[in-house]
Structure 1
């Protein structure tokens, strides 16, 4: 229901010198709120019947301009709510007028988000926001897209544009989830008001396809361990062997991902365990080094590099972005080689580094929940589960 707006003199609240404050009175559904304008006058200069300044009021023209400006802000906000068919309360109206949003375009805001993520060395996240920035720029062809321009029709048109560009559901889902995330950040930073939020009606989750099962059998793991990569190709086999070793180390290491493997150093080996902090979350992780995993480590001990695996080099990959690009490149090459390995043992699914993580992820969750439980063998649950599965 539309709110009624008028200006009143609060005669019942005179100050010490007898002046009365002027206030905006908002009325909706028999509820009232009063917002002080910041003007105090002697009561004889206020016409209480017409709710306006009397002609003989000192500085009448100047004070009228202040009152008109304040009233117009509330009237303009009501028109904005009506334009988007927004139901609003008096409190929401007051919030929108008294705490106006900052006038920052999506392009500028995305640039600031990308810059902050880069400074925090969160390069992977920064690339998602950069991809969204580039995509929106191609779609809109304007540099000053505002958050209020993003409504459900806009999102539907953007989705159609992405499909026409050859994007599949999961790729579109990533961009839409990134756009939703940046919109949520903008609401939090008071760049746009929640009243314009379009993602309550536009369902991002509808875009995500179910991912085919990527786990493989224990027997397949044994085939990979036993495989002589020289049987696959007569060309130099160092990259094939390295890809195989990365996969198996991840599998035996409770699904450790490529980023964390790349950052492992000799100092992360503590007695018979690997102890490290996840690059993404900072959470400390520990797992038992099984004999075959130790063999893999020993295979790459030569050289002066302190990293366990020859992926990163502190003298070359000095920045977070250089490290991100290097790991991405190595992962791409490893997955190409793993696909060849999987085909050579007749796997029904493409073999990738992610398969190793998928196999161990549910075991690792179980380990975390039940770590305090000891088995009758005297081994802790983590050791027993890893040995039993591998």
Structure 2
């Protein structure tokens, strides 16, 4: 006897919101099995003859895609079992499907991933993911939808909405790379089948835009380090810039968390907060002098960013935001006073460190290791393209 798969509105059960659950009904050998789809509709929105939502149902597209994908999932499994000449019942078919993938909503996946980042103390990236979550809520009104709804067409509409909102190309790229990460996380955790992955058709790479130059020459770096001013508030920004440059392009958040325990045998040893990668770098004389300059027996931290009163993650986050904003504002003023070609920030020191090493023909693998990047591909993004002088020299060989 043929096996049939249908979706129906289970009117025998009424939920607290007055809606009825949608159920998958498997019919095999005269026996029936009902499995909830995890969504519900009101009776007036359901066409019982065709077993589809009515045209006036506000969430028609989402439900239609969910039904089509779920039916396809069961029908594909039936074909597979028959091709392998395996016997099955309505119950075993249901168990086979439920054991392979447990559909979860996009909302659930985002919250699970954010919780994971929080447990790993990756607060910076967690806030970035939260920002994308907020953006999607604003766009779609809710994320109580399954990943199968997010296809190439859905992604194109989201991209158009972001553009109409006035977002820059690189910002849009970040939104989509984060969403792609969440989708991959959902696949890895059996929340959705890999066959529904929409990023094979929708290429995130097209959103990559060449990042504006954020590295300075060695000469400009020297001008910054030698900058003289009567403004005492300019001293710390320059010193933090210098420390970043002299210690492998260390991130601001990692500088803030440094204590004397991070100095071992005249080396700076710490775990990068963003990736958890262990960094071990020799302390240059310049870096050691900066540490001595800010030594305070009452403060366990090497620099006056955090203090003993910053005991919670929230207190640290608030303090970090306050200090880095002030530091970058003052560095910007210094950059303008020196007539530098780019806006000066603490991050410029990190880029400049990598670029200066590259120009000195240091291998990318070594630069990658010192920066704490996960791969050389990431490091390559940091590094400048060939400079005009290099191109001019190369052209002479023609």
**Normalised-by-shorter TM-score class:** 0.5 to 0.7
- 2:168 corresponds in structure 1 to 168
Residue 126 (structure 1) shift: 1.5
Asked if the contact 1:118–1:126 (Cα under 8 Å) also holds between the matched residues in 2, the reply is yes
Q: 1:284 to 1:129 in 2, by over 3 A?
A: closer
Checking the alignment, whether the CA contact within 8 Å between 1:268 and 1:276 is kept in structure 2 is yes
Q: CA deviation at 1:160?
A: 1.0
Give the TM-score, by structure 1 length: 0.68
SS of the residue corresponding to residue 199 of structure 2 reads coil
Alignment of structure 1 residues 1-390 onto 2, 5 Å? 6=2, 64-66=29-31, 69=33, 80=69, 90-91=79-80, 98-100=96-98, 101-230=101-230, 236-238=231-233, 240-319=234-313, 321-361=314-354, 363=357, 366=363, 369=366
Give me the CA root mean square deviation.
3.5
CA contact (8 A) 2:169 2:207 kept: yes
The answer to whether the 8 Å contact 1:78/1:93 transfers is: no
Deviations, residues 304-352 of structure 1 (Å, cap 9, x unaligned):
1111011112432422x43334323322222111111111111111111
Distance 2:267 2:364 in 1: 15
Q: Structure 1 residues 322 and 116 mapped into 2: Cα distance closer, same or farther (>3 Å)?
A: farther
Residue 277 of structure 1 and its aligned partner are, at CA, apart by: 2.4
CA contact (8 A) 2:66 2:146 kept: no
Q: Give the number of equivalent residue pairs.
A: 300
Tell me the secondary structure at the aligned position of residue 274 of structure 1. Answer: strand
Unaligned runs of 5+ in 1: 8-23, 25-61, 231-235, 371-390
* Structure-2 separation of matches of 1:142 and 1:193: 22
The ranges of structure 1 where at least 4 consecutive aligned residues each deviate by more than 6 angstroms after the TM superposition are 81-84, 86-89, 92-97
For structure 2, the 5+ residue unaligned runs are: 5-26, 38-64, 85-92, 368-398
Q: Aligned pair in 2 of structure 1 residues 292, 160: CA closer, same or farther (>3 Å)?
A: same
1:292 partner SS: helix
Larger Rg: 1
